[in-house]
């Protein structure tokens, strides 16, 4: 016997199906090439169902970004809990590099969206809020592993996290031109030079 979903469960199921479809379409077509019609079709719904969940394509993308930030924060917290000191910092760095390599399509999509958000003040503020949350989570993870190992970054923790994020985005762009660019061992060496004993 099939269990009938409540209205709230159906709405949540539909939202999840739309998010899964949106991720596929965004990754396949880029932000500019994606549209709500294609996302609705991919999810098996009318565009009205998509609009009942999200006011715009930007809202849908930002919901995906928010989920990604939460997932990455949880993964970083697990890594940070398992490591300390320089080993912990390097484990976090390797985790970010791995995610960049595995999720290069997502990072390209994010770069495309960031350019658009920079040109739209309202969208830019919404993106900046989510980006600040991501930086905050990463700053906490880095601070945790370093403090437990008796280390501190040579720069303020937030600046340290921004440097790592900038290297991460730059790594994607460099590897688009040369897949062998910037081997991880150099990133690890750089990170090790940016910490000192407390």
Please check whether residue 35 is in contact with residue 57, taking contact to mean a CB–CB distance below 8 angstroms: yes
**Which domains, from first to last, does the chain contain?**
1-54 (1.10.10.60), 58-197 (1.10.357.10)
- pLDDT, averaged across the chain: 93
Over residues 132-166, the pLDDT tens digits come to 999 999 999 999 999 999 999 999 989 999 998 89
Q: Which residue has the higher pLDDT, 60 or 105?
A: 60
For the full predicted model, state whether its pTM sits above 0.85. yes
- Whole-number Å distance between alpha carbons of 45 and 32: 21
- Whole-number Å distance between alpha carbons of 11 and 23: 18
Distances from the Cα of 22 to the Cαs of 44, 45, 61, 110, 155, in angstroms? 12, 12, 8, 14, 38
* pLDDT, mean of residues 40-47: 96
Over residues 90-112, the pLDDT tens digits come to 999 999 888 887 888 898 899 99
The whole-number pLDDT of residue 1 equals: 64
pLDDT of 2 > 80? The answer is no
- Mutual angle of helices 104-118 and 7-33, in 10-degree steps: 80
Distances from the Cα of 135 to the Cαs of 108, 160, 162, 184, in angstroms? 18, 10, 7, 21
The kind and range of the H/E element at 10 are: helix 7-33
Give percent above pLDDT 70 in the chain. Answer: 99
The whole-number pLDDT of residue 167 equals: 87
The whole-number pLDDT of residue 170 equals: 87
* pLDDT, mean of residues 105-132: 95
* pLDDT, mean of residues 104-133: 95
Q: Which residue has the higher pLDDT, 36 or 100?
A: 36
pLDDT of 74 > 70? The answer is yes
Helices (H), 44-194: 47-53, 57-82, 85-102, 104-118, 121-148, 157-177, 184-193
């Amino acid at each position: 016997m099939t269990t009938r979903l409540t209205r709230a469960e159906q709405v949540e199921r539909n939202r999840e199906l739309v998010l899964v479809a949106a991720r596929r379409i965004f990754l396949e077509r880029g932000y500019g090439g994606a549209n709500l019609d294609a996302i609705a079709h991919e999810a098996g719904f009318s565009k009205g169902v998509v609009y009942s969940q999200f006011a715009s394509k930007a809202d849908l993308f930002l919901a995906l970004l928010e989920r990604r930030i939460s997932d990455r924060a949880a993964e970083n917290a697990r890594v940070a809990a398992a490591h300390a000191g320089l080993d912990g910092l390097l484990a976090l760095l390797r985790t970010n590099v791995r995610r960049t390599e595995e999720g290069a399509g997502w990072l390209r999509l994010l770069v495309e969206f960031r350019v658009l958000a920079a040109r739209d003040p309202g969208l830019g503020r919404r993106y900046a809020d989510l980006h600040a949350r991501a930086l905050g989570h990463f700053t906490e993870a880095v601070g945790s592993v370093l403090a437990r190992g008796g280390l501190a970054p040579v720069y303020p923790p937030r600046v340290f996290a921004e440097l790592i994020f900038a290297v991460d985005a730059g790594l994607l762009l460099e590897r688009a031109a040369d897949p062998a660019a910037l081997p991880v061992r150099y990133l690890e060496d750089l990170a090790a030079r940016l910490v000192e004993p407390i």
